[in-house]
């Protein structure tokens, strides 16, 4: 996965520029359960609480737990291939959204990096 490695930088006008740093990846947890092979880097939360964003990385061969989205979730695939449970591949530069109430699991054969924007944590 060829993404720029650097820390976030803030400007006096309130702009915050984010890029991935390998040292910042942390295990992904949903309701206290670890998703093996899934990693996240929190980016920013909207100050009104309407949305949150984070980088998500799937290791090659990683498969998520079955989960239900409690709010709409948007995923922008940055690199690699993200595959939904029905075999649909979402590739780099494609966006997929999941409506609130959607239940599914996903995986990545080769690994991928994803930008996630959502309102709330999924449920298992």
| Chain segment 74-97, per-residue pLDDT in tens | 999 999 999 999 999 999 999 999
25-118 domain in CATH 3.40.50.1980? no
Query: Residue 87 corresponds to which tokens in the numbers above?
Result: 């075999």
What CA–CA distances, in Å, run from 76 to 8, 80, 111, 112?
Answer: 19, 11, 14, 11
Q: Where are the domains of the chain?
A: 25-118
Q: Is the pLDDT of residue 120 over 90?
A: no
Residue listed under structure tokens 């880097």: 41
Query: Residue 68 corresponds to which tokens in the numbers above?
Result: 């239900």
Contact (CB, 8 A) for 59 and 111 = yes
What does DSSP assign to residue 24?
A: G
Stated pTM of the model:
0.85
């Amino acid at each position: 996965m060829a993404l720029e490695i650097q820390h976030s930088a803030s400007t006096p006008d309130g702009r915050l520029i984010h890029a991935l740093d390998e040292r910042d990846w942390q295990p992904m947890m949903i309701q206290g359960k670890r998703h093996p092979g899934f990693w996240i880097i929190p980016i920013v939360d909207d100050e009104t609480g309407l949305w949150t964003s984070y980088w998500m990385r799937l290791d090659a061969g990683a498969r998520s737990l079955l989960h239900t989205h409690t709010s709409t979730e948007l995923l922008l695939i940055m690199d690699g291939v993200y595959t939904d449970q029905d075999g649909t591949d979402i590739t780099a530069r494609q966006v997929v959204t999941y409506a609130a109430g959607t239940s599914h699991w996903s995986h990545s054969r080769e690994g991928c990096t994803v930008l996630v924007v959502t309102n709330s944590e999924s449920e298992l």
